[in-house]
Amino acid sequence: MKAGLIYGKKDLRIESVPVPEVTKGKAKIEIAYAGICGSDLHIYHDGAMLEEEHPLSKKKPPIILGHEFSGTVVEIGKGVTNVSPGDKVTVEPFIYCGTCEYCKKGNYNFCEFFGSLGVNDDGGFAEYCVTDARYLHKLPENMSLKEGALVEPVAVAVHAVRQSGLKVGESVAIFGAGPIGLLTLLAAKATGATKTFVVDISQERLNKAKELGAGYIIHPMNEDAVQKIVSITGNGVDIAFEAAGVSETFTNAITSIKPGGTVSVIAIYESMVPFDPNILFEKEGKIFFSRGYANEYQEVIELIAHQFIDAKQIITKEINLNNLVEDGLEFLVKDKSQSKILVRPN
């Protein structure tokens, strides 16, 4: 089969590799679509990947990249009962042991041996994937495979909104209008957020946020984002979501909340962030960090299937796997008008 294997920094190769054998408890999926995530860009451009063998998957680079994907089940192994050949599925890519303290509590996103398909085991930039059937979720008839490929990033956004405690009628500010920021906007609106602010240094991304229903868009190079938020709300927002992962947006997020407000950090940071705790102390503010998701895939599928979250709005381009590097991994850092690029294996 054709697959996109990551060997190291700026070294992704489209190669022909054997289709893995289907063994007990596993299923083979014919992949339809795979989304390019910010972490894929980080792995490709910065070489952010582990070189040693993962304790659960027993795999190490080169690995087939890609963890946001959907497809059709074509074969199942002995003991598989949750899916059948012909089922449309989306893949929950987290690798976890199921036996550690956190897994037993249902918090498998904290697993002591946490990993992910597309990072620590072969993922979705390929024609087929063979994986544990427990990672597969059937899609309803009225949900497309394109939407199925978006369940993973939507789950990240939904988990962050849930962790924040957002209530109907509250105001939110989202710092960073990449795919996760835009999906957080949609999830917040679906939860009942009223005043919504989106802040980003890319006008193209801000335009997309406006298209998706943001009440206010702010370009921080042209105006003071916090000042504008406070002037419109009177005292700041109820909840600020930090989805950019840089020092300036972190500071603006904690400064933009009202007294008693909440900051929810979704981003991963590449470097240390200076932090003045007095900003939150004076407001008795709360801060949460949101790591992935756990036990939320089925809920997210229902939210998308019933159009409470119209996730397909963030799709801006579809490409062929053969062009993954030039039209995807390289193109996304050059063209800021792009949001979610989906990759087709054929």
H/E/C letters for each residue in the chain? CEEEEEEECCEEEEEECCCCCCCCCEEEEEEEEEECCHHHHHHHHHCCCCCCCCCCCCCCCCEECCCEEEEEEEEECCCCCCCCCCCEEEECCEECCCCCHHHHCCCHHHCCCCEEECCCECCCCECEEEEEHHHEEECCCCCCHHHHCCHHHHHHHHHHHHHHCCCCCCCEEEECCCHHHHHHHHHHHHHCCCCEEEECCCHHHHHHHHHCCCCEEECCCCCCHHHHHHHHHCCCEEEEEECCCCHHHHHHHHHHEEEEEEEEECCCCCCCCCCCCHHHHHHCCEEEECCCCCCCHHHHHHHHHCCCCCHHHHEEEEEEHHHHHHHHHCHHHHCCCCCEEEEECC
Q: What is the pLDDT of residues 270-294, one digit of tens each?
A: 888 998 999 999 999 999 999 999 9
Q: Is pLDDT above 90 for 32?
A: yes
User: For the chain, what is the mean pLDDT?
Assistant: 96
Q: Is pLDDT above 90 for 94?
A: yes
CB atoms within 10 A of CB 229: 25
- Please report the pLDDT score of residue 344 as a whole number: 98
User: What is the rounded CA–CA span in Å between residue 14 and residue 177?
Assistant: 30
pLDDT band at 47 (very low <50, low <70, confident <90, very high): confident
Which two three-digit tokens encode residue 228? 């504008």
Which two three-digit tokens encode residue 333? 């850092």
User: What is the rounded CA–CA span in Å between residue 190 and residue 335?
Assistant: 29
**Single-letter code of the amino acid located at 246:** V
pLDDT band at 256 (very low <50, low <70, confident <90, very high): very high
Q: What is the pLDDT of residues 210-244, one digit of tens each?
A: 999 999 999 999 999 999 999 999 999 999 999 99
**CA distances, 123 to each of 23, 81, 145 (Å):** 17, 22, 16
- Please report the pLDDT score of residue 269 as a whole number: 86
Q: What is the pLDDT of residues 123-142, one digit of tens each?
A: 999 999 999 999 999 999 99
What kind of fold does domain 2-149+310-344 have according to CATH?
Quinone Oxidoreductase; Chain A, domain 1 (3.90.180)
pTM to 2 decimal places: 0.96
Return the closest-CA partner of residue 27 out of 98, 117, 142, 99: 117
pLDDT band at 49 (very low <50, low <70, confident <90, very high): confident
User: What is the rounded CA–CA span in Å between residue 36 and residue 342?
Assistant: 6
Backbone angles phi, psi at 329, to 5 degrees: -65, -35
pLDDT band at 316 (very low <50, low <70, confident <90, very high): very high
Kindly report, as residue ranges, where domains of CATH 3.90.180.10 are found in the chain: 2-149+310-344
Q: Is pLDDT above 90 for 52?
A: no
User: 232: Cβ–Cβ under 8 A, 6 or more apart, which residues?
Assistant: 195, 197, 216
pLDDT band at 6 (very low <50, low <70, confident <90, very high): very high
Kindly report, as residue ranges, where domains of CATH 3.40.50.720 are found in the chain: 154-289
Domain 154-289 has CATH 3.40.50.720: yes
- Please report the pLDDT score of residue 68 as a whole number: 98
Return the closest-CA partner of residue 146 out of 307, 315, 303: 315
Q: What is the pLDDT of residues 205-217, one digit of tens each?
A: 999 999 999 999 9
- Please report the pLDDT score of residue 271 as a whole number: 84
Please compute the mean of the pLDDT values over residues 104-109 and round it to a whole number: 96
Q: What is the pLDDT of residues 163-212, one digit of tens each?
A: 999 999 999 999 999 999 999 999 999 999 999 999 999 999 999 999 99
The torsion of the CA quartet 6, 112, 289, 335, rounded to 10 degrees, works out to: 0
pLDDT band at 50 (very low <50, low <70, confident <90, very high): confident
Q: Is pLDDT above 90 for 2?
A: yes
Please compute the mean of the pLDDT values over residues 328-340 and round it to a whole number: 93
Tokens 């993922």 belong to residue: 123
User: What is the rounded CA–CA span in Å between residue 243 and residue 179?
Assistant: 9
